[in-house]
Amino acid sequence: MRLNDEPFQLVREGIKTVEVRLNDTKRQGIQSGDFITFTNLKSTEQITVKVIGTEVFTSFQALLNHYSNQVTGFSNNIQLSQKLASIYQIYSQTDELAYGALAIELQLISK
């Protein structure tokens, strides 16, 4: 999976431990025990993580209300509306209604 530089660095540092994605067909097969390699879109650096759990939510709002800002890669002072706005730059609300949101709980394996 590809990640922008900032969330990539947070995963690499072990701060961001929950990846937020659309629960589309491509990601519905992700299970505990799977390995994911993230590629930094800026540097092409890669890191590998182990999936330690997944949880499906009906919306990104429900997911973001469930997890802290830190584990999802947001600064502590950012508001819910700002987090949603950043997610809606990537995923459409139509897709969110169709698929829901997926929280992928991560454990860093290699840097």
Q: What is the CATH number of the domain that holds 78?
A: 2.30.130.30
Domain count, the chain: 1
pLDDT at 48: 95
Closest CA to 9 of 49, 48, 51, 40: 40
Letter for the amino acid at 104? I
Q: Higher-confidence residue: 92 or 109? A: 92
Domain ranges, residue 29? 2-110
Tell me the C-alpha distance between 103 and 89, whole Å: 18
Q: Residue 111 above 70 pLDDT? A: no
Task: Give me the amino acid identity at 102.
Answer: L
Q: What is the mean pLDDT of residues 25-38?
A: 96
Q: What's the predicted TM-score (pTM) here?
A: 0.94
Q: What is the pLDDT of residues 61-93, one digit of tens each?
A: 999 999 999 999 999 999 999 999 999 999 999
